[in-house]
Amino acid sequence: MNFSLVEKTIAWKQFFRDVQEGLGHAYIFISEDEEQLASFLHFATLACFCPTVCCECETCESVADGSHPDVYRKNGDGMKVKDDMEPLLERVEMRPVKADRKVFVIENADKMNPSCQNKLLKTFEEPPPHVTMILGASSESGLLPTIRSRGKKLYPEPLSSRDIIAELTEDGFDEDTATVAAAYSMGNLMRARKFAEGGNYRDQYEQVFEMLMQLKKSGQIAEYVMGPNFAKDKIALTLDFMDVILSDAMKELLQTDARRFTVGRERDLRQVAAGFSAQGIAMSLEAINVAREQLKFNVNAANVANGVLFAMLEARYKWQKKG
């Protein structure tokens, strides 16, 4: 990801103020977007040694290629206390070799097991003055509350559609693909890229589209709910797909000029919208938001799926199109 996309975020500005005024001892970057998170960790590490983040000097190059002696990068996923955490903590105690500080980066920190996190805690709380620790996590929930409260938490904001489209077209994807991918990504570049590349994400999108075109009777719901797209690890994305498709169906129904994110699918959208009034679609979109909330509170995926599909059918019949 381009530094320009990192640089303009509030999260970066908060971090960069510390670079200029004095780095703290512990930071936690939190983003669900793996690609964005990796970029933040990378540029934040660079900034600790080259405040202009020039990406060209010898220092920047050695940080980037992993040869800088004062940078330690570890993956929290699969980390073991004896083999990984203890050696890392020993290194924390050593003086920097080349720069005036050492930087320890742990990606996937939320996947570190609790014993590793506990082992890290004391150092994370109060490392030697020459040390800065930077953790990357996809969510806070995997971090122990004690770790969470000891670092400065920074939340990179989701990207705009425009930025995602620019990033993808720069990487060689055509404009239409980039536009659709950006619409489904909800600001998550990693997700947009996976979508643009096709594969599972694309299949899931097509299946959700098909489901919305076909779903007419409550008798069909059970089969969809049992299907792969409402499994625990896929339901969130299915809901996002439903959201964008139904929003576009609404635009089609109302014949507005607003841009469709589902590029070139007007006929399919009309089939999705068939029998719906605008009010009915609005209620369905509301049901999707309710479903997202339920997932946050760990409601079982099948129950959430059932709820949202029944609510959609109900919305369609309750607010049926006249005539």
Q: Which residue's structure tokens are 């996590």? A: 137
Instruction: Of 126, 174, 166, 130, give the one whose Cα is nearest residue 146.
Output: 126
**Distance of CA 105 to CAs 17, 71, 131, 219, 230, Å?**
19, 8, 11, 52, 35
Distance CA 131, CA 141 (A): 25
Closest CB to Zn ion among residues 62, 138: 62
Identified binder of Zn ion from the candidate list 1, 11, 47, 60, rule CB under 5 A: 60
Q: Which stretch binds Zn ion (CB under 5 A): 14-22, 43-51, 177-185, 296-304?
A: 43-51
Q: Count the residues of the shown chain that bind Zn ion, applying the rule CB under 5 A.
A: 4
Structure tokens, 172 = 């060689």
Q: How far apart are the first and last CA of the chain?
A: 51
Give me the least distance between CB of 50 and Zn ion, in Å please: 3
Identified binder of Zn ion from the candidate list 13, 17, 57, 214, rule CB under 5 A: 57
50 binds Zn ion (CB under 5 A): yes
Identified binder of Zn ion from the candidate list 8, 13, 17, 54, rule CB under 5 A: 54
Give me the least distance between CB of 63 and Zn ion, in Å please: 8
Give me the least distance between CB of 247 and Zn ion, in Å please: 44
Give me the least distance between CB of 12 and Zn ion, in Å please: 16
Judged on CB neighbours under 10 Å (0-12, 13-18, 19+), 322 is exposed
Helices 235-254/266-273 angle, 10° precision: 90
Give me the least distance between CB of 40 and Zn ion, in Å please: 17
51 binds Zn ion (CB under 5 A): no
98 binds Zn ion (CB under 5 A): no
The residues binding Zn ion (CB under 5 A) are 50, 54, 57, 60
